[in-house]
Structures are given as structure tokens and as C-alpha cells.
Structure 1
Amino acid sequence: MPVYWFALSNIQHIQVWHAVLVFFILHVLVYPSSNGYNSYMDRDTTPVGGIANPMQPTRQLLYVTLVMDALALLLSATVALYFAAGIACYILCSRMYSYRGIRLKKYPIIGFLTVILNQGALVFLLVYIGCNQDTTIVPWQPVVASALLIGGFYPITQVYQHKADAADNVYTISMLLGIKGTFVFCALVYGLALLLLFNFYAALQTLTPFLIVQCFFIPVIVYFIVWFTKVLRNTAAADFRHTMRMNLLASACTNLAFICLLILHQL
């Protein structure tokens, strides 16, 4: 969702109906279907995705995800055919990420790139072109920054799952980096995203949006530092509870930051 608001905040003339429809397609159909399919393939028995005790998926879940995907593609075609093609690409990559026969998620680098390029860069592109009244060139800096913002957060969500992932023959980017290395890596990638955003807004000769984003990111950075300090003392602190708190805080602050930018841009 933060990438959605970020993309909208960079559009001068928004097609309001398309913005509503794109929001529905992504957040009510595509994302839940992707999570549902991943749950069907993973059959997690340990905490995952904000759920401490996940229920075991049934065959009906698979059917529901297929119906949701089909509906998402049909609605996407009413926005534009190239938008529908982008949604199809997202769905395909999501399935290859989870499907047992391919299972991109078991490869640390490929799995990581699949997530950040689709959830970050591709989603920004889809929202930007799908909701824009003008025919314009998509600015590359926000596209890359979106991928980096996802890349600076996603590995953190894996730090408590190393044992469960190993048992499932999955080797994540977080396992490759190690628990402490994951925190360092995320800080570096996050820093690159912020540097790119600074250069983007500086080129537009307005740093106000960048400063607004920084104000909302302060709680996230403070929590990250405090949590990392605990992990340095005892890696057991890289647990489900801390991860979910980080997840909720980062999501809330990032959404609010880009919603504020959207409102400011439209004034």
C-alpha cells in the first residue's frame, strides 16, 4: 500500500475512478490472492504474516485465489490492456515465487529480487500509468526507490523464520546474510532509498516532500535502532513479536507519509 500512495503522490492529474479501481484490484484481489496462494503452498505451522497460529489451508483456498486472479485480470482490462498485462506479470511472478515446482523463494538472491521488483518497481509503474490522466514519461528515481524501500524492509520480516524456512528447504536472503547481517543490509538499502528520494526531490527544487517523509520515518528508525541493539546483545530478540511490531509501525508510518505527500501535491 505505501507504494500505491507514493505513486499517486507523483501524479499531477489523477484519474480518480481509475485510482479507486486500481486500489481495489491490488489490495482486495491481487495481494490477498497472492498471500492465499503462498499459504496454500507453504502450509505454515509456525507464526507467519502477522498470524501466530496459522490455520492449515484447504483446497477451497486455492479455488478462491484462482477466482480472485481472474476477476483482477478482467477488471484490469477496463483500466488498460497494458495495465492488465502488468497485473498478469505480477500474478505470474507471485505464483513462481511460491509454486512447489519452481519455488523462487528458495533462492536467496532470485527470491529477493522477485519481491522487490514486483512489489516495489512494478507496482509503482502500474499505479503511475494506470491512474495518470496525462501521457508522460515515468520518472525512474521513484521506481527504483520503491524497489529499494521494499528491499530495505522485506528481509527483516524473515529473521524469525530461519528454522522454519530451513525445514522447508527455503534459503532466504535473511538466512544468507545472518540475523545481524540482515539488519545491516536493510539499513544500507533503506539509506540508498532515502538518498535517491533526496536527489529526486532536489532535482524538482523542492525538499519539502522529502522532509515530510523523514518526519514520519523517525519512529521507524528509532524502533529499528532499539531493536537492533537488543539483537546485538541477544539474537533471540529477532523474534515474531518484535518483527510484527516493526511491520505494523513501518507500514503505518510509510502509508501516512505518502498520503500526506499526495494531499500536499493535490492542493
Structure 2
Amino acid sequence: MITRSSIKHLRIPFSFFLMPVFFFALALTPNLNEMRLALVFIALHLFLYPSSNGYNSYFDRDEESIGGLKFPPKVTPDLYWLAQVFFVIALLLGAWISWFFASMLAVYGLVSMAYSHPSIRIKKYPWTSWVIAGLFQGYFTFAMAYAGLSELGWEVIFKPHVLIPGLLTSLMLWGNYPLTQVYQHREDARRGDQTLSRTLGIQGTFAFSSFFFALTGAAFVWYFLDRGQTPILWIYLGAMAPILLFFLVWFGFVRTNPEKYASYSWAMGMNALSAISLNAFFIYYFLENTQILQVFGY
């Protein structure tokens, strides 16, 4: 029997926060096909990511707020099997496109399992988990989505036109990743997980993220200028402006009272605003790159 608790722990709406990587890959895919687009989107956001979320929750058994759940319900045994079923469905959808794409989904899923499983638990190693999470949720996912959308294989991973934008997405995630841990210090300490945010401290986490946000912004400026897309650059900077403003306001409050403002509500607010702005920008970038807007006279 599937419990309501297990459905909640899949955190399907949380996939919205990871959609910018997919839309960036979509914007740069030259060989679009409606069926592949739907299959890749569904495999990633409705099955692979929820499977990873559920598997993580099963072994973490959080008692305090986690990403997407302010009050996580008690974990039940069926969650493990539900997460595995979602993983298998993701693989089957991937195989519909190609075995190459399915194998990429499998690698992502296995790494996410190693992230949480007690026998390996990458999560408890601060710098290793930071590198792996950013690399796989960013660069690897970008390459995986690009390969699935274009019906290509593993060879795309090291192609410059995939490698460079893929690393840009990892830069975004490397900046944001410690902020997703900043309100979980007590919970992580209880489990013995020495996360990067615990290692850096609350204010150190914000200073660290500030550096990577600046680096990410500079990298995207270079990327769009190198492609001769100055108008796109200005739209990108406009999309980033509310995110930067929110972050600076949040950081200001944290400096006055870290315990009060390094909270779930602020972190989820940052995630939600970032996802809305980035999804909107990359959807626009997709429409602009494919010249769909020009067809309608925009």
C-alpha cells in the first residue's frame, strides 16, 4: 500500500527548481523532436528527480524541514519501493529514446543513491558532496538532457558546445547548493553529516555563495558575448536582478540574526525566485534561439 506520506516525500513539485538546466539544454538543442522533448522532460522531472528525493528521504528520515517539505511526515517502508518504481519508470522512458540516454539516467540515479545510502553516504563529506551534487545536477544533467533531446550518445559529454554551457549550470548550482543546507545544521549534526554549510558556518556559507554567484554571472556574461548575443545578455542580467536583490536582503538579515533568518522559509523563497526567473529566462532563450518568436512577429 502506498501511503500519503511516501507521495509527499517524492516532492514532485520540487523538480521545478531543477528545470532551468533542462530548458538551457533545450535552448541549445539543434535537433528538436516533440516526442523526445516530452519523454526527456517527463523522465527527468516526474520520475528521476522524485525517485532521488524519495530515496534520500527514506535514509535521512528527517524530523525537521527539508527542501519542499516544511513539516516532513514520518517515513514509511513503502517509500523505498516507491522510489525504486519511479526510478525504473524513468529508465523505461529513457530507453524509449535510446539505451544511451537510459544509461545516463541510470548513472545519475546510482550517484544520487550513493549520496544518501548509509554504506557510502557522499552527503556526509562536505567538499566531495558539493562537487558531486553540482557536477551531476548541473553539467551531467545538461549533457544528459541534450543527448536525450537530440537522440545522441555519451560522446556529447566532452563536446565543447555541451561542456561549456553544462559547466555554467554547475557553477549556478555550486553557488546555491550550500544555501539549501543553511537551515539544516541541527538536523545534519544529529545524523553526523558534516555538510559544506556546517563546515563554512552560516555567514561563511553566504560569503561562499556570494563568490560563486559573482563567478557565475561573469561566466554567463562571457558566454553570451562570445556568442554575439548582447541583447540576450541584457535580458539575462534583468532576470538575475531580483535574485541578487533577494539574496543581498537575506544576507543582510542573516548578519543581524543568523539563527532567526537562516531559515527554511528564506531558503525556499530564494529557491522559488531563482527557479521562476531562470525558467522564464531559459524558456525565452529557447524561443529566441529557435526563432519561434520571430514567426509571431516578436
If the TM-score is normalised by the length of the shorter chain, which range does it land in? over 0.9
Report the 3-state secondary structure (helix = DSSP H, G, I; strand = E; otherwise coil) of the residue aligned with 1:198: helix
The superposition leaves residues 208-263 of structure 1 with CA deviations (integer Å, 9 ceiling, x where unpaired) of 22221211111110000001011111112111121111111111111111111111
- 1:243 matches 2:267: yes
- 1:255 matches 2:279: yes
Contact 1:9/1:259 (8 A) holds in 2: yes
Whole-angstrom distance in 1 between the partners of 2:129 and 2:151: 34
How far does residue 143 in structure 1 lie from its aligned partner after superposition?
Answer: 1.0
Contact 1:13/1:134 (8 A) holds in 2: no
How far does residue 203 in structure 1 lie from its aligned partner after superposition?
Answer: 1.6
Report the 3-state secondary structure (helix = DSSP H, G, I; strand = E; otherwise coil) of the residue aligned with 2:73: coil
Report the 3-state secondary structure (helix = DSSP H, G, I; strand = E; otherwise coil) of the residue aligned with 1:100: coil
Whole-angstrom distance in 2 between the partners of 1:234 and 1:84: 47
Amino acid at match of 1:222: L
- Range that drifts further, 200-209 or 88-97: 200-209
Whole-angstrom distance in 1 between the partners of 2:234 and 2:210: 19
Q: Percent identity?
A: 35
Contact 2:98/2:151 (8 A) holds in 1: no
For 1:144, the equivalent position in structure 2 comes to 167
Whole-angstrom distance in 2 between the partners of 1:94 and 1:209: 34
Whole-angstrom distance in 2 between the partners of 1:2 and 1:150: 11
- 1:51 matches 2:89: no
For 2:213, the equivalent position in structure 1 comes to 190
The superposition leaves residues 102-157 of structure 1 with CA deviations (integer Å, 9 ceiling, x where unpaired) of 11000001111121111101110011121127897451221110111111111101
2:229 to 206, 210, 214: 206
Whole-angstrom distance in 2 between the partners of 1:44 and 1:14: 41
Structure 1 unaligned segments of length 5 or more: list them: none
- 1:163 matches 2:186: yes
Give the TM-score normalised by the residue count of structure 2: 0.86
Report the 3-state secondary structure (helix = DSSP H, G, I; strand = E; otherwise coil) of the residue aligned with 1:153: helix
Whole-angstrom distance in 1 between the partners of 2:152 and 2:223: 20
Whole-angstrom distance in 1 between the partners of 2:119 and 2:145: 31
Whole-angstrom distance in 2 between the partners of 1:156 and 1:251: 14
1:218 to 241, 254, 261: 241
How far does residue 184 in structure 1 lie from its aligned partner after superposition?
Answer: 1.3
For 2:99, the equivalent position in structure 1 comes to 81
For 1:176, the equivalent position in structure 2 comes to 199
Measured at CA, do residues 158 and 96 of structure 1 come closer, stay the same or move farther in structure 2, by a change above 3 Å?
A: same
Amino acid at match of 2:264: F
The superposition leaves residues 55-110 of structure 1 with CA deviations (integer Å, 9 ceiling, x where unpaired) of 11111111111111111112211212221111111000000000011110000011
Whole-angstrom distance in 1 between the partners of 2:206 and 2:247: 8
Whole-angstrom distance in 2 between the partners of 1:107 and 1:191: 25
Contact 2:101/2:144 (8 A) holds in 1: yes
Whole-angstrom distance in 2 between the partners of 1:13 and 1:211: 27
- Range that drifts further, 161-170 or 234-243: 234-243
1:3 to 18, 21, 27: 21
How far does residue 16 in structure 1 lie from its aligned partner after superposition?
Answer: 2.1
Whole-angstrom distance in 2 between the partners of 1:7 and 1:213: 16
Contact 1:125/1:138 (8 A) holds in 2: no
Structure 2 unaligned segments of length 5 or more: list them: 1-18, 292-298
Contact 2:100/2:152 (8 A) holds in 1: no
Amino acid at match of 1:266: T
CA RMSD of aligned residues (A): 1.5
